[in-house]
Structure 1
Amino acid sequence: MNPDLDKLHPYPFERLASLKAGITPPDHLSHIALSIGEPKHEPPAFVVQALKDHLDGLAAYPMAPGIPALRAAIARWLCRRFNLAAERLDIERHILPLTGTREGLFALTQAVVEDKPGAAVMMPNPFYQIYEGAALLAGAEPIYLNTTAENDYLPDLDAVGAEDWDRCQLLFLCSPGNPTGRVMGEDYLRKAIELADRHDFVIVSDECYSEIYLTKTPPPGLLEVCESIGRHDFRRCLVMHSLSKRSNVPGLRSGFVAGDADIIKPFRLYRTYHGCAMPLPAQHASIPAWDDDAHVEDNRAAYRAKFDAVLPILEPVLPCVRPEGGFYLWVKVPGGDDEAFARDLFAEQHITALPGTYLSRDTAQGNPGKGHVRISLVATVDECTEAAHRIRAFLEKHKG
C-alpha cells in the first residue's frame, strides 16, 4: 500500500460520529443537523427535468472534456459573472468539467505536484480537508496558513518566508472561506499572483461558495483579477466552481476547472486516464443551471433570511459575526472546548455542530480552529430558528 495513506487524518465527520457515539439525546426534540455543508433547498425543477430528458445518455461513455454545449454554458456564466472577455475564453483550452470540485481538487493536485524532496502545498487553516489529503498523497508537505480574527481571517501571505515560497508548488485559496465566510479582495488576489510569478507555483482558487454572498457586491474571482490586470492567459491561475451550493444539486456532482491552458491541457490527459468523466445526463442537466441566474438569486435570499432570523437570537449569548459569504457561522464557544461544546449540545438539545479542531491543524502559532464550532445554516428557516433558540437555551443554562 502507498505509505502516504498512513498520513491521512480521519475525516471530520468520522471524528464527529465518534464524539457522539453512545449519547442518547432527548427523544422529545427532533434532530437538527448543522454540521455538514450539504444544501437542503429544493433543486431547480428545470434542472431535474433536463436530467430526466437525457437519461438515454446513460447508454454512452462520457468523454473527459465534456460536451461542447456544457463548456459553452460554463463560459457564458464565467463571462457574465466575472466580466471575462468572451473572445479570449476558449472553451477548448481554458475549461474542463469536473465531477464536483472535491474530485477536481484532489485530482489536480496529483497532476500538478512534482514528486521531489521539499515539495510543499500551502492552504488556509482551518480548511477543506481535501486540500491536505491531496497534498499528502501527492508526496508534498502541507503548510498551514492560519486564518484568525487577528489577521482578518485571511491567510497571511507576508508571514511565509522566501524559502517556503520557493518550494511551494501549489497554493490553495478559498473565497468565500470555509468555514469563516471571509472574502478575498482584488488586492489580496493580486498579491497572490505576484508571489506565484516570483516563486513559480500554481494558484487554485476554490470558489464553490462564490454565489452565496451576504454583501451587496459579489466576491471577486481569481480569473476576474487576471482579466483586470491584463493577464489574459490566466498563467499559473485556476479556479474551481460547482453547482452543488449554487444550484442545490450536490448529488449531481457537477463542477469545472478553468484557467491556464498550459495546465488544463495535461490535466485533461490525466483525467482521460483517471476515468472521472461526468455522465451525459448530468452534463445536459448542468447546462440550464449555468445559464440561469434567477434561481441563484432566490437561493441567496433564502440564506440571507436564515442569518436574519438566527443572528438576533444568538448575538446576546454568543459572539456571532455575519459572514461575507457562505452559509456558515464560525463562532467562538464559551470555555474554549469545542469538542465538549458540540458533544453537550447534541446530548442536551439534539443539535449537531462541528468542532473547529476537526477542520484545522496545530501549528507553531497555535490551532486556529480550537475553541470554535462551525454552524451550517442549511436546514429550513424554521429549523434554523428553532436551533438558534435551543442553542441560546443551552448557553443560558450553562452560563457562568
Structure 2
Amino acid sequence: MNPHLDKLQSYPFEKLRQLFSQVSPNPHYSAISLGMGEPKHPTPKFIQQALIDHIDGLANYPTTVGSDALRGAIAGWLERRYGIPKLNPATQVLPVNGSREALFALTQTVVDPAAKSLVVSPNPFYQIYEGAAYLAGAEPYFVNSDPSRNFGCDYDSIPAEVWQRVALLFLCSPGNPTGAVLSLTDWENLFALSERYNFIIAADECYSEIYHGSEAPLGAMQAAHMLGLSTVERPYARLVVFSSLSKRSNVPGMRSGFVAGDAEVLKKFLLYRTYHGGAMSPAVQAASVAAWNDETHVEQNREKYRAKFAAITPLLQPHLQVELPDAGFYLWADVSQTGLSDTEFAQRLYAEYNVTVLPGSYLARDAHGINPGRNRIRMALVAETEEGLEAAQRIVQFCKSLTQ
C-alpha cells in the first residue's frame, strides 16, 4: 500500500459523525444541517434542459481536453468577469470534473516526490490541499489565518529556508471557511515570492460569485493582469486558477469546473490527466457551456444569498462573535464567549436543538503553536432563507440557555 495514505486524517464530516455518534437529537425539532457546504438553491431549468438535450452524448467517449465550445465559453467568461485579455482556449484553459479532483491532480503533476518539497496551505483550509500534498510525496506547511488581518495569512512570516523548498502554494480567495478576499497588494507580494522561489500558485476561486458587497472579489488572473503579468513573454507564469459551476450555478452534482492560466503548466497537467482519466461527459460539457454563457441566474442566486445573510447575521451577533464575510456562503463564528469549545458547542446544539454546525478545529491543524479554528464554528447558509432563519433562531435559543 502507498505509505502516504497513513498520513491522512479523517475528513471533517467523518469526525463530525463520530462526535455525534453517542448523541440523540431532540425529537421535538426537525433536522437542520448547516454543516456541509452543499448548495441547496434549485438548479436553473435551462441548465437541466441543456443536459437533457445532449444526453445522446453519452454514446461518445469524451476527450480529456474538452470541446472547443466549452473551452471557448470558459475563456469568454473569464474575459467578461475579470476584464482580462481573452485566453487562448486551446492552451490556457482546461475543463475539469469539479475543482476538487483538479486541485488534487495538479499537485501530483507539479510536485517532484524525490525533492522533499513543501506545499504551503492556509490554515484553516480545504482538506484536499493537505491530502494532495501528502500523496504527492510532499509535506504541507500551514500559514495561520489571523482575525486581525481580516483572516488573511502573514506570508512574510515564512522563513527563506522554507520558501526554498516550496513547490506549490494553495490559496483560497474568497476563503473557506472565512470568506476573506485577497487584495491586490496581497497578490503582488505572492507573485513576487513565486518568481523569487520558483513555485506554482494554485488559486482556488470556487466561491468567487457569491459576495455581499457591491464589488466582485478580485481574482488571481485579474490581479496578474493589473500588475502587467498577462502580457509578458510567459503570461500568468506559475499561476493556475481553479473555478467551478457548483456554487455559481447550483450544480454540485454535475462536477464541472476548469483550470486556467500558465500554458506551460497546463500542458503538463493535460498529459497527467490523459493518463489519469479526467475527461468530462459530453452532456455535462454542453450543460456547462449554457451555464458559463449566462449571468442572469448567477445574479439571482447572489441576491438570494445576500438577503439570507442580511437576515441571519444580525440575529446571531448578540450571542456569537460573527461578522458578515467578504464573500462565500459560510459564517465563521467565535463561540468562546459561550463558555463551550467548538466541539462541545456543536455536540450540544445538535443534541438539544437538532441543528448541525461544523467545529472549526476540524477544518484546521495545530500549527505554530495554535489551531486557528479552535473555538469557532462554520455555518453553511446554503438552504433557503426560511430554513436558515429557523436554524439561527434555534442557535439563539441555545446560546440564551447557556447563560440562564
Query: TM-score interval w.r.t. the shorter chain?
Result: over 0.9
Match of 1:245, as an amino acid?
K
Question: Deviations along 1:159-181, whole A, 9 cap, x unmatched?
Answer: 00111011000000001100000
The 1-side partners of 2:393 and 2:205 are apart by 32
Shift of 1:187: 1.1
The 2-side partners of 1:27 and 1:367 are apart by 34
**Which residue among 360, 382, 392 is the counterpart of 1:388?**
392
The 1-side partners of 2:314 and 2:172 are apart by 28
Q: Which segment is superposed worse, 23-32 or 65-74?
A: 23-32
Q: 1:229-378 maps to which residues of 2 (within 5 A)?
A: 229-232=227-230, 233-333=235-335, 334-378=338-382
1:31 maps onto 2:36 in alignment: no
Structure 1: gaps spanning 5 or more residues? none
- Native 8 Å contact 2:116 2:137 kept in 1: no
Q: 1:186-197 maps to which residues of 2 (within 5 A)?
A: 186-197=184-195
Q: 1:90 to 1:117 in 2, by over 3 A?
A: closer
The 2-side partners of 1:65 and 1:336 are apart by 50
Match of 2:199, as an amino acid?
F
The 1-side partners of 2:301 and 2:29 are apart by 28
Task: Report what 1:77 is aligned to.
Answer: 77
Task: Report what 1:177 is aligned to.
Answer: 175
- Native 8 Å contact 1:354 1:374 kept in 2: yes
CA RMSD between the two structures: 0.9
Match of 1:265, as an amino acid?
K
Task: Report what 1:51 is aligned to.
Answer: 51
The 1-side partners of 2:157 and 2:150 are apart by 14
Task: Report what 2:5 is aligned to.
Answer: 5
After TM superposition, the score normalised by the length of structure 2 is 0.97
Matched residues, percent identical?
51
Question: Deviations along 1:135-171, whole A, 9 cap, x unmatched?
Answer: 0000111000000213331111110011101100000
The 1-side partners of 2:122 and 2:396 are apart by 30
Where 2:403 maps in the other structure, the secondary structure is: coil
Runs of 4+ in 1 over 4 A off after TM superposition: none
Shift of 1:365: 3.1
Where 1:196 maps in the other structure, the secondary structure is: helix
The 1-side partners of 2:240 and 2:189 are apart by 15
After TM superposition, the score normalised by the length of structure 1 is 0.98
Task: Report what 1:201 is aligned to.
Answer: 199
The 1-side partners of 2:52 and 2:119 are apart by 41
- Native 8 Å contact 2:342 2:360 kept in 1: yes
Q: 1:33-182 maps to which residues of 2 (within 5 A)?
A: 33-86=33-86, 89-182=87-180
Shift of 1:315: 1.1
- Native 8 Å contact 2:312 2:388 kept in 1: yes
Where 1:287 maps in the other structure, the secondary structure is: helix
Task: Report what 2:211 is aligned to.
Answer: 213
Shift of 1:336: 4.9
Q: Which segment is superposed worse, 335-344 or 277-286?
A: 335-344
Shift of 1:379: 1.2
1:15 maps onto 2:15 in alignment: yes
Question: Deviations along 1:213-264, whole A, 9 cap, x unmatched?
Answer: 1111101111111111221211000100000000000000000000000000
Question: Deviations along 1:67-118, whole A, 9 cap, x unmatched?
Answer: 00000000110000011112xx100110000000000000000001111243
